[in-house]
Structure 1
Amino acid sequence: MPVCNVHHGLLNPYANKKIKPEIFALLPDDVYIQLNLDTINRVERVNEWIDELMGCWSSGVRNCGKKPDHFDAMKKQFIYTIIIFSFLSRIGFAQSWEEIRQDMIATGDVGIGLWDAMIHPSKDTQMAYLIGGSVVALSFLADRSIADFSQMQQSPAADKLFGIDKYYGSVYTVAGSGALYLAGFFSGNQKIKDMGLHTAQALLYTGILTIVTKELFGRARPYTDLGPYHFSPFSFSDDRRSFFSGHTSTAFAFSTVMAGEIDNIFWQIFWYGAATLTAGARIYHNKHWFSDVVAGALVGYAVGRFVVNYNGNTTVGASVSPEQQVPQIQLTIRF
């Protein structure tokens, strides 16, 4: 049996412990690679390590006079597995999964806190409900006129400007949240990881509220030509999911968390500007009424602000009442 020792002598909790992980089931039955986990401790050495490993593996197989079956496909699977394995091994499997588990628990805690704040509202939250509900109700009055105006402004330049909703507020925003978390996790950058975690929390609970509300109201979209006051609850049809705008709520949830992570006015203007442009794009593309995007913006902002408050980030004036165990949903208007 050919034996291949690949060893860089890097520091690792599992150094000098020769193992046969389950991932080596990918190898031919008569090939056993004796691997020290310290070879994959450093992410920046992964490519170098893989080159050496694959050369050693190929050499070992040839020396035993056997032509491996499906070698290329297995090699690709092996490399992908080892890359993931090497990333996690920088702090050890147990530590890595414990960190992820704690983040999942924290996400659950945020959800419980948000639910409690919604069904047991403080005076501030009750005021937020009153103001927000009034704003949305008044916005219904402008739905038809704004829809007609937006459809008269169609142009190639506007098409490009409002093309933002293809990316922001869509599944790409969710992917961006995941990318932030993974980048922070693998690099050991806690700030980046927290951005990913907090945006994911905001997107998760905003998404739940959005889906439930859309089905509950069953509002017809503008392009159906049924008017702004046509509702068919629980229609389970995309044509009846106008209220409220999911793109807008998603964009504002993400932007609110990102704006709350760094205390910089230009940073905050960028994120809120992107969310506002996304809201405008939904009206421009005749997908939503004005009141849909107003409600979506308020919900996304409220959930995003709750997440920022809950996680203790107060860089942009967030406040948590000392009498409460969890932050409340608040609407603050500054002039």
Structure 2
Amino acid sequence: MKKIIYGLCLLAAWTLSGQSNSNSFTQSNQSLWKDFTYDMGNVFQGVGYAYSRPIYWQQDDFYKLGATTAITLGLYSIDDQSRRYFVEHKENVPNLILDYGWYAGSPQNNYGATGAVYLTGLFTRNEKLRRTGVLLLSSATATGFLQQLTKSVTGRARPQTNLGKNHFKPFGGSAGYRSFPSGHAVLTFTNAHVIAKQFDSWWIKGPIYAIGVTPGLTRIYEEQHWASDVFLSWVLSYFVVESIDKYLDKKYEQKYNATSTDDLTSLNFTFTGNRIGVVYSF
């Protein structure tokens, strides 16, 4: 009888243990799903926040816009000369670097890498890495859509068409009229700026930025973009990342910058898995 009672106790303990593990597994999945929907909501909200920033520009922001415009026009004025310089020195650039510029800036490769960063943070429960992944995905989405729209609207001829720096065909449609801005430069510099923000030392930041600007430069060597296209692409990436990063400061406890977000206002999109909406925060 004692053996039977002992056996029943063991069976009950094993059953309860199995239920506990099952509940733990279920709770873990629910927690992962909760984190995932929260993060994806922040991806879309970050995009909306970045697009709404010009509404809230202050005097300093217009100074930055003026400086950016002046430098871009300066580069535009020498686009023909800079094109000749890059073409004349292309043979000095290793094919490995030129190939890297193409593959690193391809959207499918970019989203594959940024997605891997985010999923690693999600499954390891590392909030800082999750936040970094959200910033990468949100910034790439915001800059990627904006550069595609701008390319179509401006219709600037690529250098390889030999039509000159002043040739534009708005809504031209063909690949030869999609020079401005550079998608490769936008995506790779976006990634570089996000990653560089994780570090304080310029001995680390410097090489990261060098890797980030290389694809943009190779696109000039390949006569796919003008120097002014690439420069403005880098500026676009920088300000979009900065904007979204400030927004994420108030969404995650793990921060790597100390920017205050008390006075931030925004027009945001919400996403919770089964609900989509628009929220104005002030």
Instruction: List aligned pairs for 1:153-192, cutoff 5 A.
Output: 153-155=89-91, 157-171=93-107, 172-192=109-129
Match for residue 325 of structure 1? 265
Question: For the residues of structure 2 that align with 1:187 and 1:213, how far apart are their CA atoms?
Answer: 38
Match for residue 137 of structure 2? 200
Q: In structure 2, do the counterparts of structure 1 residues 194 and 15 end up closer, same or farther at CA, with 3 Å as the change threshold?
A: farther
Match for residue 94 of structure 1? 30
Q: Is the contact made by 2:246 and 2:261 (CA closer than 8 Å) also made in structure 1?
A: no
Question: For the residues of structure 1 that align with 2:30 and 2:255, how far apart are their CA atoms?
Answer: 32
Structure 1 residue 322: deviation in Å? Answer: 5.2
**Secondary structure at the residue paired with 2:45?**
helix
Of residues 87, 93, 96 in structure 2, which corresponds to 1:151? Answer: 87
Greater RCO, 1 or 2 (C-alpha within 8 Å, sep 6+)? 2
Q: With the length of structure 2 as denominator, give the TM-score of the two structures.
A: 0.79
- The one-letter code matched in structure 2 to 1:325 is T
Q: Deviations over 1:219-269 (max 9, x none)?
A: 011111111111011112211110011111111111111111222322211
Structure 1 residue 200: deviation in Å? Answer: 0.7
Of residues 97, 120, 129 in structure 1, which corresponds to 2:65? Answer: 129
Structure 1 residue 314: deviation in Å? Answer: 7.2
Question: For the residues of structure 2 that align with 1:98 and 1:321, how far apart are their CA atoms?
Answer: 24
Q: In structure 2, do the counterparts of structure 1 residues 314 and 302 end up closer, same or farther at CA, with 3 Å as the change threshold?
A: farther
Of residues 296, 304, 309 in structure 1, which corresponds to 2:241? Answer: 304
Q: In structure 2, do the counterparts of structure 1 residues 99 and 213 end up closer, same or farther at CA, with 3 Å as the change threshold?
A: same
Instruction: List aligned pairs for 1:1-335, cutoff 5 A.
Output: 16-17=18-19, 37=22, 89=25, 91-155=27-91, 157-171=93-107, 172-312=109-249, 315=256, 319-320=259-260, 323-325=263-265
Please, which runs of 5 or more residues in structure 1 have no aligned partner? 1-13, 19-35, 42-88, 327-335
Structure 1 residue 300: deviation in Å? Answer: 0.8
Q: State how many pairs are aligned.
A: 246
Question: For the residues of structure 2 that align with 1:188 and 1:212, how far apart are their CA atoms?
Answer: 36
Q: Is the contact made by 1:263 and 1:315 (CA closer than 8 Å) also made in structure 2?
A: no
Question: For the residues of structure 2 that align with 1:90 and 1:154, how far apart are their CA atoms?
Answer: 57
Q: With the length of structure 1 as denominator, give the TM-score of the two structures.
A: 0.67
Q: In structure 2, do the counterparts of structure 1 residues 108 and 15 end up closer, same or farther at CA, with 3 Å as the change threshold?
A: farther
Q: Is the contact made by 1:254 and 1:304 (CA closer than 8 Å) also made in structure 2?
A: no
- The one-letter code matched in structure 1 to 2:168 is F
Question: For the residues of structure 1 that align with 2:261 and 2:39, how far apart are their CA atoms?
Answer: 24
Give the alignment's Cα RMSD to 1 decimal: 2.5
Please identify runs of 4+ aligned residues in structure 1 that moved more than 6 A. none
Structure 1 residue 283: deviation in Å? Answer: 0.4
